[in-house]
Structure 1
Amino acid sequence: MKNIFLSGILLFSVLITGCNQSKTDDSGKADSGKKLVIGATMLSMQNEFVVNVADEMEAKAKELGVELIVVDAERSSLKQVEQVESFIAQGVDAIILNPCEVEASSPAVKLALAAKIPIINVNSETTAKPTAFVGSDDVESARIAMKYISEKLSGKGNVIMMHGYMGQAAQLKRDRGAKEILAANPGLKLLAEQTGEWDRAKAMSLTENWIQSFGTKINAIFAQNDEMGMGVVKALEAAGLKNKMIVVSVDAIPDALQAVKKGTLDATVFQNAKQQGGKAIETAVKAAKGEKFESQVLIPFQLVTKENVGEFLK
């Protein structure tokens, strides 16, 4: 009986060792025979650009044979941290974070790193440094937009800026980029600035308030994303003022591209959702496998006007 008992213990130990070895090799890399699982928490699936990034992530994950779990943080950094905790508990191989806020989403990064799970920030940043970042330089997007406005106004006029969700990296950086150009062009006056929270309906309402306050004193409006830009255009059209003001926004979502083609939106700044989503998955897969990857992938912005919009509608 004693020999049988010892044999059973030995067999159990061998089985446990075998299971552990099937999960990782000697270097700690994910076993090539195991299907990788990546968890992704997105800022808001009500935002068209974020949805475009998520769609491309799904397509790239399918192409690479990776299981992707996408959840909606609904603009709540607290919920986002909880979602990352859930991914950690599930034992995912990598996490993609589309941060709600620079500071408040940072604990999610720290939790993943503490659990030794690679975490890739896509599109937006956190104070805590992730395993890698895939996105674009949001400061540059605002520089491009405000330079276009300055050129159209010949360096003189009243400008209004509509901010995105306050505290998010894109909002902070686009504010910085726009104000760099305003500072370099003293003939441009910032008449007002307020958040539209990346939201089309809120942007429309906010623009209506600005029309009541300033009327035709407004020469141009810079909306920090296209969702808000489309809300601005709708309010100006309803008031019969669109032809009197320049409107520029960022992202080049399909609605905005059509508006540029039509002439109701003067310009947008193309942000490549396809490349951001695809590169985020590729980077996450490489990090999970212990392969070499770039710790920062920056994808350039491009100005889109009526003259070149056809290139982006293809």
Structure 2
Amino acid sequence: MNRRSKSCFSRSLAKRGGAVLLGGALLLGQSGCGSQRTTDVRIGVALYQQNDTFISTVVENLELQARAWEEETSRKLTLNITDGGNSQSTQNDQVDRFLDRDYDAICVNIVDRTAAAVLIDKAEAANVPIIFFNRQPVQEDLDRWEGAYYVGARAEQSGEIQGQIVADAWKADPAAVDRNGDGVLQYVMLEGEPGHQDTLLRTEYSVNTLTETVPAEKLASDTANWDRTQASARMTEWIKRYGEEIEVVFANNDDMALGAIDACRAAGMTELPFIVGVDATPPALEAIEAGTLKGTVLNDAEGMAEAMFALIRALAAGEDPAQSVELEEGHYIWMPYRRVTAETIASE
């Protein structure tokens, strides 16, 4: 963080009468930061949609971080978690309320990644750090202010891992995946939210990685908006049209992969296609152990929550965040993805 950034946060903390250290101890009476803080610590968490399984897992880990902080400091930390209901205007109003009520920091799982500039400008005006997570704003918006950050994973990496899981299964036993024996893998693609960077990159890189070594043919693709029910409906249509021609199902997240499994079961299929997802949610891990989901990619919900708290801790202390977290380009904390299959689960 540059000198201007440090002074910005020093002024912010002084204005509110103290500083908050999350995940460790409360910083009180810092030099130049004003008088000791007597009010509870308040963190606003604005979600794009709370019924998303992965996002709910992140929230659970944030709550665990908050409770651990309370035990260590004997202070009250309030996480005000709001559900945007997939409406950017609703989420804007929620962030406005956090700022109006002088919250210490705001974490935003943004509805529309192209709408971050408005929120960043408001946070800058209030001198409140804003941390976006899991849904990445465009870089130009993050560059507007040094107090705006992003915590998440590189979407292209998850696609690469998905494609590699399928390619490795082909190499190990082609007949187990290529059920019709034509030397080509026929696949369908369940896509997330249209225009979302995770949708675009996971879709592109999963197929590109597979086709580097394995002949493949797309039968169908459609959006299911990260949703299990929508994915089940799409998969049901494809089963009626293609039946057992479907050899592989790529799903941009686990909820949609589970929806594909639901559809296959409802259709009475005795042998399911090779289905892969992303996120490694608890229901997905259960499906891997059951053998219905062949692979997923760990999107580290626990690590994401820890990184957000570590970032706020460094900012509150007036420190250079790059000294406490792996901060790239002044704004980004990148979480690594990891391959998850029945074999990796068994080895842990």
> Shorter-chain TM-score: what band?
0.7 to 0.9
Q: Does 1:43 align with 2:40?
A: no
Alpha-carbon distance change, 77 to 175 in structure 1, aligned in 2, over 3 angstroms: farther
Give the alignment partner of residue 300 of structure 2, picking from 272, 283, 294. Answer: 272
* Counterpart Cα distance in 2 of 1:110 and 1:171: 27
Q: How many residues align?
A: 294
Tell me which residue corresponds to 2:95. 84
Tell me which residue corresponds to 1:33. 37
Q: Aligned AA for 1:176? A: E
SS in 1 for 2:276: strand
Shifted more, 184-193 versus 25-34: the winner is 25-34
Q: By how many angstroms is 1:274 displaced?
A: 0.9
* Counterpart Cα distance in 2 of 1:212 and 1:21: 61
Q: By how many angstroms is 1:285 displaced?
A: 3.4
Tell me which residue corresponds to 1:284. 312
* Counterpart Cα distance in 2 of 1:244 and 1:20: 60
Q: By how many angstroms is 1:43 displaced?
A: 1.9
Alpha-carbon distance change, 260 to 281 in structure 1, aligned in 2, over 3 angstroms: same
Tell me which residue corresponds to 1:64. 69
Tell me which residue corresponds to 2:190. 162
Q: Deviations over 1:34-72 (max 9, x none)?
A: 543211101211111111101111121232243221111
Q: TM-score, normalised by structure 2?
A: 0.77
Q: Does 1:297 align with 2:327?
A: no
CA contact (8 A) 1:150 1:156 kept: no
SS in 2 for 1:309: helix
Give the alignment partner of residue 75 of structure 1, picking from 80, 83, 86. Answer: 86
Unaligned runs of 5+ in 2: 1-13, 20-28, 71-76, 172-182
Q: Does 1:221 align with 2:249?
A: yes
Give the alignment partner of residue 104 of structure 2, picking from 93, 100, 103. Answer: 93
Q: By how many angstroms is 1:186 displaced?
A: 6.7
* Counterpart Cα distance in 1 of 2:273 and 2:208: 22
Q: By how many angstroms is 1:136 displaced?
A: 1.4
* Counterpart Cα distance in 1 of 2:259 and 2:289: 17
Q: How does 1:121-200 map to 2 (within 5 A)?
A: 121-127=132-138, 128-129=141-142, 131-154=148-171, 156-182=184-210, 184-185=212-213, 187-200=215-228
Give the alignment partner of residue 266 of structure 2, picking from 221, 231, 238. Answer: 238
Q: Aligned AA for 2:305? A: G
Shifted more, 281-290 versus 299-308: the winner is 281-290
Alpha-carbon distance change, 27 to 149 in structure 1, aligned in 2, over 3 angstroms: same
Tell me which residue corresponds to 1:5. none
Q: Aligned AA for 2:344? A: N
CA contact (8 A) 2:185 2:214 kept: no
Unaligned runs of 5+ in 1: 1-18
Shifted more, 274-283 versus 200-209: the winner is 274-283
Alpha-carbon distance change, 95 to 20 in structure 1, aligned in 2, over 3 angstroms: closer
Q: By how many angstroms is 1:251 displaced?
A: 0.9
CA contact (8 A) 1:94 1:288 kept: no
Q: Deviations over 1:205-231 (max 9, x none)?
A: 110011122222211011111111111
* Counterpart Cα distance in 1 of 2:16 and 2:94: 28
Q: By how many angstroms is 1:290 displaced?
A: 2.5
Q: Does 1:52 align with 2:57?
A: yes
Q: Aligned AA for 1:190? A: K
Q: By how many angstroms is 1:30 displaced?
A: 7.5
CA contact (8 A) 2:58 2:302 kept: yes
Give the alignment partner of residue 126 of structure 2, picking from 93, 111, 115. Answer: 115
Tell me which residue corresponds to 1:103. 114
Shifted more, 302-311 versus 203-212: the winner is 302-311
* Counterpart Cα distance in 2 of 1:33 and 1:23: 5
Q: TM-score, normalised by structure 1?
A: 0.84
User: Superposition RMSD on alpha carbons, in Å?
Assistant: 2.5
CA contact (8 A) 1:102 1:167 kept: no
Q: Aligned AA for 1:33? A: R
Q: By how many angstroms is 1:299 displaced?
A: 1.9
Q: Aligned AA for 1:44? A: Q
